[in-house]
Amino acid sequence: MLNLLALLVARSTPLTLKQIRHELGDHYPLNDSAARASFERDKAELRKLGIPVDLVTLGGAEAGEGAYSIDRRSFELSDLGLTPVERDALQMALATVRLGAEAGDEALWKMGGERLLAGRVTSINLQMSDELLESLAEGVTQSRTMTFSYHGERREVDPYGLLARGGHWYLIGFDHLRQAQRVFRVDRIEGEIVAGKKNTFTRPEGFDPRTAVPTEKEMLALGGEAPRRAIVRVDSTLANRVVEELGEGAIVQRRDDGSIDFSIPCANIDVFRTWVLAMVDRAEVLEPLDVRQHVVQWLEDLVRLG
């Protein structure tokens, strides 16, 4: 269903079912009747989600045949035309009024926003959907030193702030074990969190969690090796979204079939591999050879383990 959505959104002209089956390969059965039934189910599910699938009747040599299209403007949230100051104010309102509300989360992600909690805030309802997050939020807002287990080590942390980025919550604070500021991914905290007394530490002047946690683009370039880049070919269904994410400067070559070759930082091979595989079969690592072999070997190992 998602493959069908990506295909129809990316194409400027309507596609017949025959063309859709050709584009999506083995996504639909070879039998015509079974393929039609499967396609109708996908189309119905998309419409249930509020995504209109438009049908037009073709003329000329294909007279009478139906073709399908999706206009992304009919279901995507349009640009609100906010200034940076207005966007920041709205994001802050969403974060402080209902921090755990699903409706607020959805609107915030659509605006390209992040969730931020740092320092004392005026809050109407500081709900969060997880007890772990509630404990950490209390530590941040009340300046309580938190003790927990992380990667098998007992850590004592002065929590400066919480930030949601890229689908994960991060805790930023002063780590007494390392005697330095550190970032902890909340879902990797193990077991119970023990909170200390109120007002046991002072947050650094000018602290900003948004600069403490690398973005995904920055994480691709952060690694133990010297700076490296890989050439990745992304097919036409996702290529434009990668351009939006990484910018025109990442383009190496635009190809006739609509696919684009990108130059992508790969110093952090784990983050790079995750970024590539998130596109499933819509992206291929072309070079350098050792990076391509690493991705291929990792996939083969998964197959054997499965």
Q: What is the pLDDT of residues 280-296, one digit of tens each?
A: 888 999 999 989 998 89
Per-residue CA distances from 144 to 140, 192, 193, 194, 196 (Å)? 7, 15, 11, 10, 5
Q: What is the pLDDT of residues 230-289, one digit of tens each?
A: 999 999 988 988 898 888 989 999 999 999 999 988 877 777 887 888 788 889 999 999
Query: What number is the average pLDDT over the span 82-104?
Result: 62
Q: What is the CA radius of gyration of the chain?
A: 24
224: pLDDT strictly greater than 50: no
- 148 is written with which tokens? 């927990």
The pLDDT value given to residue 261? 96
Per-residue CA distances from 246 to 77, 217, 287 (Å)? 21, 7, 18
- 116 is written with which tokens? 């931020």
Q: How far apart are CA 235 and CA 78, in angstroms?
A: 25
Query: What number is the average pLDDT over the span 195-202?
Result: 93
What is the percentage of the chain residues whose pLDDT exceeds 90?
A: 21
103: pLDDT strictly greater than 60: no
Residue 122: pLDDT band by 50, 70, 90 thresholds? very low
Query: What number is the average pLDDT over the span 211-230?
Result: 65
DSSP three-state, residue 80: coil
Query: What number is the average pLDDT over the span 81-87?
Result: 78
Q: Are 15 and 23 in contact (CB under 8 A)?
A: yes
Looking at per-residue confidence, does 96 or 98 come out higher?
96
Q: What is the pLDDT of residues 137-165, one digit of tens each?
A: 889 989 999 999 998 899 999 999 888 76
**Unique residue bearing structure tokens 């930030």:** 163
306: pLDDT strictly greater than 90: no
**Unique residue bearing structure tokens 């079912």:** 17
Q: How far apart are CA 283 and CA 259, in angstroms?
A: 9
Q: Are 34 and 18 in contact (CB under 8 A)?
A: no
Query: What number is the average pLDDT over the span 94-111?
Result: 49
Query: What number is the average pLDDT over the span 208-213?
Result: 80
Closest CA to 274 of 302, 236, 239: 302
124: pLDDT strictly greater than 70: no
Half-sphere exposure of 160 (CA within 13 A, CB side): 21
Domains and CATH numbers, the chain: 2-74 (1.10.10), 84-212 (no CATH), 219-305 (3.30.70)
- 133 is written with which tokens? 């997050």
The pLDDT value given to residue 137? 86
The pLDDT value given to residue 215? 65
127: pLDDT strictly greater than 70: no
Q: What is the pLDDT of residues 22-48, one digit of tens each?
A: 888 778 888 888 888 888 888 888 888
Long-range Cβ pairs for the range 35-43 (8 Å, 24+): 39/4, 42/1, 42/4, 43/4, 43/68
CB-CB neighbours of 70 under 10 Å: 22
Across 116-120, 131-135, 153-157, the highest mean pLDDT is recorded for 153-157
The sheet that has 54-57: what strands, in order across it? 15-16, 66-69, 54-57
128: pLDDT strictly greater than 80: no
Amino acid residing at 59: G
Residues 6+ apart with CB under 8 A from 236: 10, 257, 258, 259
CB-CB neighbours of 220 under 10 Å: 22
Q: How far apart are CA 222 and CA 16, in angstroms?
A: 44
Length in residues, the chain: 306
What mean pLDDT is reported for the chain?
80
Q: How far apart are CA 234 and CA 241, in angstroms?
A: 10
Does 209 sit behind a cis peptide bond, omega within 30 degrees of 0 on the bond before it?
no
